[in-house]
Amino acid sequence: MTTETDHVPSPASRKHRRRRPDLTTPGLLGLPLGWLIVFFVIPICFVGAYSVGALSLFPGAHEMTFSAWNDFLHGSVYLSLFWRSVRMSFTVSVVVVLFAYPLAYFLALSGTKRKYVLLLILIAPFLTSYLLRVLAWKVILGSNGVLNSLLFWTGLRDPDHPISQLLYSKFAVMLVLGYVWLPFVALPIFVSLESLDRRLLEAASDLGASRWQSFRKITLPLSLPGVAAAFMFVFIPTVGEFVTPSLVGGVSGYMYGNQIVDLFGASLDWQTGSVLSLFLLFVVATLTLVFSRFLQIGRVTTG
């Protein structure tokens, strides 16, 4: 016959079970951290070694030097190219956000039952290849493309004098980048507006506020975190963009990312290319931290 005391664990066994390590968290984080270290941290270390001459593409004796960093930071043409790319990306980001906000506002607050269908229609063209969409714009903007052909047909332009500035220009780069990123910019704004408490708008209407006053004092401030996230989504990737400028930019649409590709590719100047890459990585990481801080403040102050 067993008693209740027979099933009570001894203090030693309880202490043994208490000391058993919990490997759940390390097991869950092990694979992601390993992936991050192997494919992100280690390559950055190699790039950093190339930037200071600790590693070299060519065999032979070499020593550590910060000459490439010194040349870059003291008025080099690469730094001016970087700021030119920043201005282009900033312009694209602002214009795209201004276009995306009314679109997201209509989808989120219009009250239509088919808003998710309309959102899917907005995203559907972007399920195709990125390169195909950029090449399609080459057909549209070319000297014998859709726009110039339309001008020829309407008699607004002579066939011998097409508008050559439409393609292989800064305008073409900014237009295609805006087209590519518009749906992705609309999504975070749509989410912020969709989660808006409609009772605030009803209360403002009951207190005599006009629709413009409700938008300016309630809707816009509460959607600013989504606007900031949308701006970040388009600005940070386009600073280092190189595919679109390569296809539709030409000489006048040359950007900072194209220079990095050329240094690693045709020029085989891996040290300077590494300096440009690390500088871009530092700027992107700083912007991400700043925007993340802003978004956290926005969630606290509006929550």
Which amino acid, one-letter code, is at 44? I
- Torsion (CA) 49, 286, 194, 299 in degrees, nearest 10: 130
Residue-level length of the chain? 303
Confidence class for position 82, pLDDT limits 50, 70, 90: very high
- Torsion (CA) 206, 210, 211, 217 in degrees, nearest 10: -90
**What is the predicted pLDDT for the residue at 256?**
94
* Range among 50-54, 216-220, 277-281 rated most confident: 277-281
On the question of pLDDT at 301 being above 50, the answer is no
* Range among 44-48, 58-62, 148-152, 210-214 rated most confident: 44-48
CATH hierarchy code of domain 73-302? 1.10.3720.10
Give the integer Cα–Cα distance in Å for 98 and 185: 10
Helices (H), 164-269: 170-194, 198-206, 211-214, 220-239, 243-244, 256-264
* Residue predicted with more confidence, 100 or 57: 100
Span 80-90, mean pLDDT? Answer: 93
- What's CA 151's distance to the chain center, in Å? 35
Give the integer Cα–Cα distance in Å for 143 and 124: 29
**What is the predicted pLDDT for the residue at 12?**
53
- Mean pLDDT value across the chain: 83
| pTM beyond 0.85, yes or no | no
Side-chain-side CA neighbours of 43 within 13 Å: the count stands at: 8
Q: What percent of the chain has a predicted confidence (pLDDT) above 90? A: 29
